[in-house]
A and B are shown apart, each in its own frame.
Chain A
C-alpha cells in the first residue's frame, strides 16, 4: 500500500522547524514538575537503605505530629489480592513485607511544603531485619543464592531450576551440532553487560488528585498516559474511566517512562488528604536508585564459521536480571541477536533472573544492545582469526526479504543489504588511522511495533487542521505527523496543529514506545485525513450538484475529476471549511486500530577510536550511523534519533554502570558519578539515512528510534581491539579495564 517509492513529495522529506520548538527554547513548555494546583501538597518518599530486608515495623507518629503534614501512606493503604504484573507494579510502588532493593519505597508523606514533606519523611521510623542479598546475575542464578521471592517463576520454568529463575526460553531450528561440524572455526565466548539507566534529563514528576469518590486526575511526565491510567487504577483499585491522565511535555523517556514507579503514591496521598492535589518530583538520586534501568546480562555465544565467512551454526545462552521482579528483556535480546544473519542452524536459550536491584524498564530496543554486544563481538573476533573482512562477512550472510529470521518468522521488506552497501561506500571507511587508533563495525536490529492507536482530525473553520494524538512527542513526532497530514490534505505544514491529548479525548493508545509513534499515529492521521477529504469532496459535489464520485482532491481543494464532471473552479479547503456549519456540520476524521504493516529496521555503525596506552582512555574519533528509515518524513529528526541512539550506546559501552557496595547499596546515584557522555566526549556523529520504503505505511515509514542504540557496544569493542589488540568481553570498557586488558597482553 506504499505510495510511489520514488515519488518526491511536497512536504514529506523536508525539514521545517518543529511546532513545539519555540516553547522549548524559551522555557515556556510545561514539563512534569511545572504543574501546580491551588491547595497543592508536596510529597516525599521514604526509601529502604537495604538491598533486601524484612519490614518489621513502620512508625509514622512523629511525622504525623508535625504541623502541615496531611497524610502518610504505607502498603496498608493499598488494596490487597492483586496477582501477576499488577501485583509486581504495586509491590514496586510500595514495598509490602520486604524491601527488595536499595531505594525501594516503604512509605510516603504529603505536607504543605516540599521541605516539610522531606523532614516528615526523615521522621518516619522503619524497623528492618536485613536479609542476604544478591546483585550480580551470575550469582543470582546459583542454586544457593538468596531467594528473592518464592513462587515468582512462571509456567515456562521447568522444575529443578535455580530459585531466582522466573522465566525460561528455548527456541531455534536446524541441527546445531551438524552446523558446528561444518565450520572451519568454532568459537565460544562469554560476555557481560552492565545495567544502565535511560538517563533522561527530566526526572519523573507528577501531580495527582484523587477524591473519596474514586474520581481523580493526574498530570504526569510519561510516554503513555493510558498506561499510567491503567496501571494506577490497577494498583489502587480504581475504575479506569474515573481517572483522567494528562501528559506533560517530556524531557526524554527512552522506554523508562512507559510504566509507573511513584505515580500511585501521589494519588493515594491525595485521597488520604481529603482530595487535595499532591505533587511528587523525584530527585536524580531517586531516579537512579528506584526507577527502571535496563537489565544486566551474562551471555555465552558459540558460532561456527567457514573460511569464506559463511556462518554454519550459532548458539546463544543469555542470563539477564531485571531487578527484583520478572521482566528482563532476555527474550527480545535473543530474538534480535542473530537477526541480521541467514542461519539454518540456530539455538537460543534464555533465563530471566531475579536480583536485589530496581525493577527494570524498557530501554531503547530492550535487550537488543546486549545481544549485539555478545554476537557482533564474537563475529569480529572470528573474522580476525580467519582473515575475513567483517563487512564482506556481513554481506555474505545478510538476510533479505523472504528469508526466515533467526527467531522464526519470514522477513517482509527489509533494507539490511542496502544499509551495508551504503556503509561500505561511506568515506569514513577510507579515513586513514594513526598509531593507537582502530576501526570497528557492528550491525543492529529492532522489530518496531504497532500497538493500539486512536487519532482524531478536525478541520477548523478557516481550513486549517488539528490532529489529536495519544502518543507523547519525544523525538519530533508532532512535526512528522503534521508533515504527513499536511501532505495528504494538500495544505501548508504550518496549517496543521498536532496536539498530544489526555486520556478522556481518545480511545486507548499505547505509549510512544517500540519506535511506533510516527508509524502508527502517523498512519492513523493519514487515514483520518482521507476521511475528511472524502467528506469535503462530498460537500463540494453537493454545492456543484454532481456525484461525489466525480470529485477528486488535489492541491488542497476539491476539483471535478474530469471533463465529464462539469466545469467548476477548484473549491479550496478554506472555502469548504468556511461553510461547514451550513453544509452539514463539522468535518473530521477518526481512525483507530492496531495498525498492520510494521517494518523492521536494520542499522550498521562504524567507529574509529584512539586508545591512550598509558591511561586506557578511549576517545571516539569518528562515528558513523547508517540505518534504514523506510522513509524519512523529517530527516533532521531521523538523524537526531540516529545520533541519540549512538550517543547512549557509546555511554553504555565506555562508562555507564551501576556500582553497588558489599551491602547492595548503590554508590553512584548522581550524574557526577554515573557518567553519561556529554557533548565534549563525542565528535559530530555522521549519519546516512537509507530509504527502503515500508510497504505497510502510506509514506513508507519504518520507525527509527531504537535500532541506533544497538551496534555501538560491539562496534566500540571491535575498534578497541583493532587499536590495541586487546579484546574486552565485559562492559563498561572504562579506562581501568582497557588499561588492564592492554597490560594483560604483556
Chain B
C-alpha cells in the first residue's frame, strides 16, 4: 500500500482524508487507484498532476514507488 498525500481541497472527494492508502506499485497504479477508489478525483487527475516521490517529481506512469516512500500529489508544475 502507498500512502498518498493530497492537497486539502481534494478532501471533498476522499471523505475528508488528506492521506489515502492506495494499493499500487507504480505512479500509474497510484493514479488509477485514486480514480477507482475516489471517482470524484478523476477530472482533476486527468487535467494533469505531478506525483512527487521522495522529493523527486516522477517522470512517468512507469516509475516504481519504493517501499515506504513519501508520495505527494501536486498540481502539474510548469515553467517559463
Contacts and interface: CB of A to CB of B under 8 A. Distances in A.
A594 to B, nearest CB: 4
A169 B11 CA distance: 11
Q: Interface centre among B59, B74, B80, by most A CB within 10 Å?
A: B80
B54 A410 contact: yes
Interface size class of A (residues with CB under 8 A): 35 or more
Contact of A447 (B44, B60, B77): B77
Given A170-B9, A172-B8, A409-B70, A450 B80 contact: no
A329 B55 CA distance: 21
A447 B77 CA distance: 8
Interface residues of B, number: 25
Contacts of A408: 5, 7, 52, 72, 74
Interface string B51-80: 010111101100000000010101101111
Contact of A706 (B12, B55, B79): B79
B56 A412 contact: yes
Given A170-B7, A410-B55, A446 B72 contact: no
Given A335-B74, A409-B55, A594-B60, A516 B80 contact: no
Contacts of A365: 79-80
A136 to B, nearest CB: 24
A155 B40 contact: yes
Contacts of B77: 332, 335, 447, 449, 514
Given A594-B60, A595-B59, A168 B9 contact: yes
A254 B44 CA distance: 28
Contacts of A705: 80
A418 interface: no
Q: Interface centre among B5, B8, B40, B55, by most A CB within 10 Å?
A: B55
A331 B60 CA distance: 21
B68 to A, nearest CB: 13
A171 B75 CA distance: 11
A364 B79 CA distance: 7
B72 A169 contact: no
Contacts of B8: 170-172
B80 A363 contact: yes
A407 B72 CA distance: 9
A411 B5 CA distance: 16
A158 interface: yes
Given A169-B75, A170-B7, A409-B55, A366 B60 contact: no
Contacts of A615: none
B18 to A, nearest CB: 9
A454 interface: no
Contacts of B12: 158
A148 to B, nearest CB: 20
A515 B75 contact: no
A504 to B, nearest CB: 24
A258 B79 CA distance: 9
A410 B10 CA distance: 21
Nearest to B79: A514
Contacts of A364: 80
A54 B43 CA distance: 30
Contact of A155 (B5, B44, B60, B78): B44
Contacts of A449: 77-79
A475 B75 CA distance: 28
Nearest to A157: B9
B57 A598 contact: yes
Nearest to B42: A155
27 contacts: A154-B44, A155-B40, A171-B7, A171-B8, A254-B80, A255-B79, A255-B80, A332-B75, A332-B77, A335-B77, A366-B80, A408-B7, A409-B52, A409-B74, A410-B55, A410-B70, A411-B55, A446-B79, A450-B57, A513-B79, A514-B78, A594-B60, A595-B59, A598-B57, A696-B56, A706-B79, A706-B80
Given A155-B40, A449-B77, A598-B57, 5 more contacts: A332-B78, A335-B77, A362-B80, A450-B59, A515-B79
Interface of B: 5, 7-10, 12, 40, 43-44, 47, 52, 54-57, 59-60, 70, 72, 74-75, 77-80
